[in-house]
Amino acid sequence: MTETIAAIATGLTESGIGIIRISGPESYDVIRRIFHTGSGKVPDLEESHRVHHGYIDVSRGTLDEVLMINMKGPRSYTGEDTIEIDCHGGVLMMKRILEAVLEAGARLAEPGEFTKRAFLNGRIDLSQAEAVADIITAKNDRAINASVAQLRGSISERIRRLREIILEDTAYIEAALDDPEHIELEGFSEKLEADVGDARREIERLIRSSESGRLIKEGINTVILGKPNAGKSSLLNALLREDRAIVTDIAGTTRDTLTESINLNGLSLNIADTAGIRDTEDVVERIGVERALKAAESADLIIYVVDGSVPLDDPDRQIIDWINASDKKCLVIINKNDLEQNISESELRDAIRQDMDMLSISAMKSEGIEELEKKIEDMFSRGDISFNDEVFISSERQKQSLILADRSLSNVEESIGAGLSEDFYTIDLMDAYTELGHILGESVDEDLVDEIFGKFCMGK
């Protein structure tokens, strides 16, 4: 924290503008050594948050014409004195200016070190820092919205409110135990039980939101299952709007799992086309079938493609039995509705789980694809998995702290129910308080902090 750090803050690719960021106690000294205005003067940096036009000069001459912004701490991203240099966005140019900054006294920043300093300086808490990383890696609009809400404190506010209630109740118990003549504990168990119950309901809601948070952040793992030649690859191509998978009339063309990502109305689908499910003597095809079933076991959504032009057969029944025995969300597609149909929806409805949605399409002619996309969107906007709430837990670390906090509050409820004395309550209350504090970054190990920020990109 006593060193001044610098890094390229924009991507290492050709662009209109590149940004080099400098942060630390000697940021202003560093920029004075290499920057001058058009008149050749050293800039006046007394006034913060100003834009200065000038040139980056080194011993071998002028490097570039730039804009330089100075921001005095604590009114900066890191909470420290910060300089940003806006230069022409050539990769070589950005590297040359960064070299000049390093030669002038800064050192190269580690991945995520700017955001780490913002956390250590109290500008943001750990949940907000994780939101910064999520914004950078966001793959869809929903992920961006959820991450921005967390960066603005949607998670932090709820966690702090829970901790305040727990701390107030703990402090009251401690005060009453220290001064029983003036502070009465009679009837306090009822209030505490109500507070703990409210806190547990909020914590459990946040825990439940973690599944939605994962799907928003990572995308919905979607597997297309079906027997050979049912039209699985045609469906993938129709969803991608391009011929990505090989399509032939020969059954068993797809031998391995092919995965692509699509953005579906702000929802990311990691969609996998798999080998057709059937008993086969072909060694390669059999491996493909095994991989298909393995992918289905870890899927969030299964799209079961049925060839509507032929009657249900043993491979279809094998797939139906597997799906019925699972707890996976499943969408049943009757494909090839442009051909004469030999399967009725009522026949298929009698064979599958009643909670499965069904749709008739022609993947080859891209008919019914938009309706299919709307059906998928609707499936993940209702029920237990909903993307309509702006507050999501998207970190496994946060989820585990919530689970431990909930467990401690459950112990408090058990102690109250058993009629134990109030001093037993405070131990579990403070355990819950501490676990919730871990979400914000209080009392966390240095190794954990390094691990979190080590996943950031350079310059952030």
pLDDT at 255 exceeding the cut of 70: no
pLDDT band at 249; cut points 50, 70, 90: very low
Give the HSE-up count for residue 142: Cα atoms under 13 Å, Cβ half-sphere. 26
pLDDT band at 50; cut points 50, 70, 90: very high
Question: Distance between CA 224 and CA 3 in Å, rounded?
Answer: 53
Q: Where are the domains of the chain?
A: 5-121, 131-215+396-440, 219-379
pLDDT at 391 exceeding the cut of 80: no
Residue 317, φ and ψ in degrees, nearest 5: -65, -35
pLDDT band at 77; cut points 50, 70, 90: very high
In this structure, CATH architecture of domain 5-121: 2-Layer Sandwich (3.30)
| 3 state SS of 174 | helix
pLDDT at 385 exceeding the cut of 50: no
Question: Distance between CA 251 and CA 227 in Å, rounded?
Answer: 9
Q: Which amino acid is at 428?
A: D
pLDDT at 243 exceeding the cut of 70: no
CA nearest to 58, candidates 30, 33, 94, 91: 33
Residue 290, φ and ψ in degrees, nearest 5: -60, -40
By the 8 A CB rule, do 106 and 447 touch?
Answer: no
Mean pLDDT of 275-280: 66
pLDDT 10s digits, 154-197: 899 999 999 999 999 999 888 888 887 788 777 788 899 999 99
Place of tokens 């079933």: 293
pLDDT of residue 248: 43
CATH superfamily of 131-215+396-440: tRNA modification GTPase MnmE domain 2 (1.20.120.430)
Question: Distance between CA 135 and CA 145 in Å, rounded?
Answer: 9
pLDDT band at 252; cut points 50, 70, 90: very low
Question: Distance between CA 169 and CA 266 in Å, rounded?
Answer: 43
CA nearest to 140, candidates 301, 264, 11, 300: 264
pLDDT of residue 400: 95
pLDDT of residue 253: 45
Global pTM reads 0.76
Question: Distance between CA 198 and CA 404 in Å, rounded?
Answer: 16
Q: Which fold has domain 219-379?
A: Rossmann fold (3.40.50)
